Amino acid sequence: MRYVRFLKTPRVVAEKSTSRNEVCCLVTITSDLGDFFLPYDIELSAELLGCAGPKEYVLVWKTVQWTGGMRSLSIAIPLSKTQQSWAGLRVRVGAGPKRTHDDYASLSEQDARGVVSAWSATFAPNVEAQKLVERRFKPPQGPISGIWEETGESIARHLWDAGIALSCHLVELTNKNTELSKALLPPVVSSPLRVLELGTGCGMVGITLAQTIADARVTLTDLPEAREIVQRNIDTASRAKGASLVFQELDWDTEIPLQLQKSLKHLALVVAADCTYNPDSSPALVNTLSRLAKMSSGVIIAVAMKMRHSSEEIFFDLMAAAGFQETSKIMFPLPGDEEIGEEIVYLHVYKYATCS
């Protein structure tokens, strides 16, 4: 997949040589890590939205052209005096005009190029948009999920391919006969279902679980620098009936805090997405998974990953050495530049050997 990113967030500026104003921003289209640019041409829709409470209205829209070989694209949208009176303005940039969300399945269509749209934070004539971007996904048969991420360089506060792919398939858990349900849910699902996510980043996977499973108790964990963006997404997230969401700090290089241990009794599921890209962190990740498995007998471990380089294979060796057995492996083909499946996310499901 590719992502529209704001290199410069939207702001209102005066047009040169005129008294009129316009909204300007600078975008790029890259991979989740930002290491590859979209090498193909694509026509994008750039839209100025007026915000009235939770509702948004398209005030102006225009098409802009991304050309293969580009590294950035400057966008300017005219702003009338009437439009300046709106209390809040936003900019959306993405494939297809006047869309309120990205349909995950539609990202695989050839003209879409797997490009994920970007919605800016609100701004006003004298207030530049925060360095944030909202993604809005609609999985098959599931509700629209809006998740904020940062526009900066911190990889801890960005959305990644594996987390999005897994999240957009979690609606399958509502049908006990799907492959995903059989892999992730225990034969007898207790209520409440207790779930912990490691390396949550922006929180998308754990939040989607809480939106999908009634009475789920979902704990999102990561390093302290992730707290602000995760809490923003928790605060704006809907929940299934009786479900709860909470964030707690967890460093894989330290023991699990006592406060967190107390909340993890009868843990049924541990999930992690995009957490194996750095092989140097794999020993700490596996040690943490081992501690959790010993604390909660029978817990299911699910790790979603897009293999980026062969050094990540150390994770599988460490899991085997720690006594974990793979019980299932599910494939999620990703929307690609030209066709679906150019890259693949795999969900590896484990149980601790003594719990099988």
179 lies in the same domain as 212: yes
Say if 148 falls within a structural domain.
Answer: no
Enclosing domain of residue 219:
155-355
120 and 18 together in one domain: yes
pLDDT, tens only, 44-82: 999 999 998 889 999 999 999 999 999 999 999 998 888
Q: What is the predicted pLDDT for the residue at 264?
A: 78
pLDDT bucket at 186, cuts 50 / 70 / 90 = confident
**Could you read off the pLDDT of 103-125 as tens digits, one per residue?**
998 998 878 899 999 999 999 98
Tell me which of 72, 106, 138 is where a domain ends: 138
330 — pLDDT class (breaks 50, 70, 90): very high
Nearest 5°: CA angle at 165, between 176 and 310? Answer: 115
Q: Is the same domain home to 84 and 203?
A: no
pLDDT tens-digit readout, 28-48:
999 998 889 999 999 999 999
Task: Say whether both 161 and 281 belong to one domain.
Answer: yes
pLDDT at 68: 94
> Is 315 part of a structural domain of the chain?
yes
Quickly list DSSP for 38-77: --S-EEEEEEEEEEETTEEEEEEEEEEEE-TT-S-EEEEE
- Average confidence score pLDDT of the chain: 92
- Cα–Cα distance measured from residue 214 to residue 102, given in angstroms and rounded to the nearest whole number: 25
CATH number, domain containing residue 80: 2.60.40
**pLDDT number for residue 91:** 97
* pLDDT tens track for 123-153: 998 888 999 999 999 887 777 889 999 986 6
In this structure, are 100 and 181 located in the same domain?
A: no
Residue 145: inside a domain: no
Domain boundary among 86, 113, 138: 138
297: which residues sit within 8 A by CB, 6+ positions away?
A: 355
Together in a domain, 88 and 171: no
Q: Is residue 168 part of a domain?
A: yes
Q: Which of 88, 113, 138 is the last residue of a domain?
A: 138
Beta partners for residue 2, in sequence order = 115
| 163 and 277 fall within a common domain | yes
Q: How many domains does the chain have?
A: 2
Q: What is the pLDDT of residue 110?
A: 76
Helix axes 314-321, 282-295, angle to 10 degrees: 30
**Same domain, yes or no: 294 and 255:** yes
Residue 221 shares a structural domain with residue 289: yes
In whole angstroms, give the CA distance from residue 256 to residue 246: 16
Confidence check: pLDDT of 324 > 50? yes
* Local confidence band at 19 (pLDDT 50, 70, 90 cut-offs): confident
Question: What is the predicted pLDDT for the residue at 52?
Answer: 87
Mean pLDDT of the region 90-103: 94
Mean pLDDT for the stretch of residues 241-252: 95
Check whether residue 116 and residue 159 sit in a common domain. Answer: no
CATH code for the domain in which residue 174 is found? 3.40.50.150
Residue 356 reports pLDDT greater than 50? no
In a domain, 144, yes or no: no
Any domain includes 149: no
Asked if 64 and 184 sit in the same domain, the reply is no
Are residues 200 and 102 located together in one domain of the fold? no
- In-domain check, residue 194: yes
Structure confidence by residue, pLDDT tens digits, 290-315: 999 998 888 999 999 999 999 999 99
